[in-house]
Amino acid sequence: MRDSLLETGVTPSKRMGQHFLLWEDLAHRMVEYADIQPGDTVLEVGPGLGILTEKLRRRTDRVVAVEKDTRLCAFLTRKFPDLLLLEGDVLRVSLPPFDKVVSNLPYEISSPFTFMLLGMPFKRAVLTYQREFAKRMVARSGTKAYSRLSVNIHYRCSSRALEEVPRSAFWPVPEVDSTVVQLDPRSPPFHVDRQGFHQVVDALFTHRRKKAVNALIYSWSQFARSKERLRSVLTGTALASKRAQELSPEHIAELTNLIFPPKG
């Protein structure tokens, strides 16, 4: 690590959220979790000094790395001359098609990158997140960590926490521990109007302390011609008296189908 940093002239940037992976065995396990096959195209975000990159390239020659730091790009180009390396912000660059994503994500892009990823085709993602963020990703209804993020992930993917990673696995040592999460895309587990479902989710969790009927009435213009009309639609379902944290994604789908009846 010291030799590589001396070669690059890089001082880790707090602004860029740079924390370099020290544990090679963690990189190895992440590659194993992703079940990378020789023909897979793998996206890595923030390769840093290339510890994970090197292990990915042992499985496939189709690795696409996106690095924002110009100095690290120069180092990675020397270390991996034939690596497809894109210099820039992964939220802004044009990405080629990929099959899998394996990355130790900079914490500050965890949310925007994850939501961007959910809108793209991929087969599996194995990503390291700040532990509290990861808890929200995989949380189930009725738990403190259950959130809008939990529901949106559930709608698009199956998710599971694979292992806890102490902060000592990185340098400089971050202020928080991490968790490796696996995402496997699948079709939504229920039939529902997609836009309507996300509108209901947003309304419920914006007013998460209120009963569902009141949370939805706060945003009634998205759902009905009048508050009275929306209230009448929700009358008769016990779900309307529950709060967001008590409603599973399937329950939220039931509410959505009352407001936006499925067509056909």
The chain-wide mean pLDDT, for the chain, equals 93
Average pLDDT of the segment spanning 234-241: 94
> What is the chain's Cα-based Rg?
21
Which pLDDT belongs to residue 16? Answer: 61
Where do the H-state alpha helices sit in 92-170? 110-118, 131-138, 148-156
pLDDT-based confidence at residue 260 (cuts at 50, 70, 90): very high
pLDDT-based confidence at residue 4 (cuts at 50, 70, 90): low
Residue appearing with tokens 């939501």: 115
pLDDT > 90 fraction of the chain, expressed in percent and rounded: 83
Which pLDDT belongs to residue 20? Answer: 82
Average pLDDT of the segment spanning 145-153: 96
Using an 8 Å Cβ cutoff, are 102 and 126 in contact? Answer: yes
- The pTM assigned to this predicted structure is 0.92
- Ordered by where they begin, the domains of the chain are 2-185 (3.40.50.150), 194-259 (1.10.8.100)
